[in-house]
Amino acid sequence: MEWGMANRMAQLIQSDGHALFLPIDHGYFQGPTRKLEQPGKTIEPLLPYADALFITRGVLRATVDPTKTKPVILRVSGGTSVVGKDLANEGITTSMEEAIRLNVAAVGISVFVGTDYEKDSLLNLSKLVDEGERYGIPVMAVTAVGKELEKRDARYLALASRIAAELGARVVKTYWCEDFEKVAMGCPVPVVMAGGPRTETELEVFEFVHDGMQRGAIGVNLGRNIWQNEHPVAAIKAIRAIIHEGATTEQAQEIYDAEKNN
Residues near ligand 5RP (CB under 6 A): 23, 25-26, 54, 142, 194-196, 221-225
Contact 152, 122 (CB under 8 A): no
Q: Cα dist. 31→20, 24, 82, 187, 191 in Å? A: 24, 11, 9, 32, 27
The reply to whether 70 belongs to the active site is no
Residue 11 or 221 having the CB closest to ligand 5RP = 221
Of 33, 87, 31, 18, nearest to 224 by C-alpha is 33
Give whichever of 25 and 211 is closer to ligand 5RP, judged by the CB atom.
25
* Rounded distance between C-alpha atoms, residue 43 and residue 6, angstroms: 27
7 or 81, CB closer to ligand 5RP? 81
Q: How far is the CB of 78 from ligand 5RP (least distance, A)?
A: 9
What separation in angstroms does the CA of 212 have from each of 98, 177, 217, 219, 241? 34, 8, 5, 8, 14
Asked if 20 and 218 count as a contact pair (C-beta separation under 8 A), the reply is: no
Residue (101 or 147) nearer to ligand 5RP, CB: 147
Q: How far is the CB of 86 from ligand 5RP (least distance, A)?
A: 15
Secondary structure E strands in 50-198: 52-55, 72-75, 77-78, 91-92, 106-111, 139-143, 171-175, 191-194
DSSP 47: G
162 phi/psi in degrees, rounded to 5: -65, -40
CB of 152 to ligand 5RP, least distance (A): 11
- Least separation in angstroms between residue 106's CB and ligand 5RP is 13
Candidate list 35, 151, 173, 182, residue with the active-site label:
173
- Which residues are tagged catalytic? 173
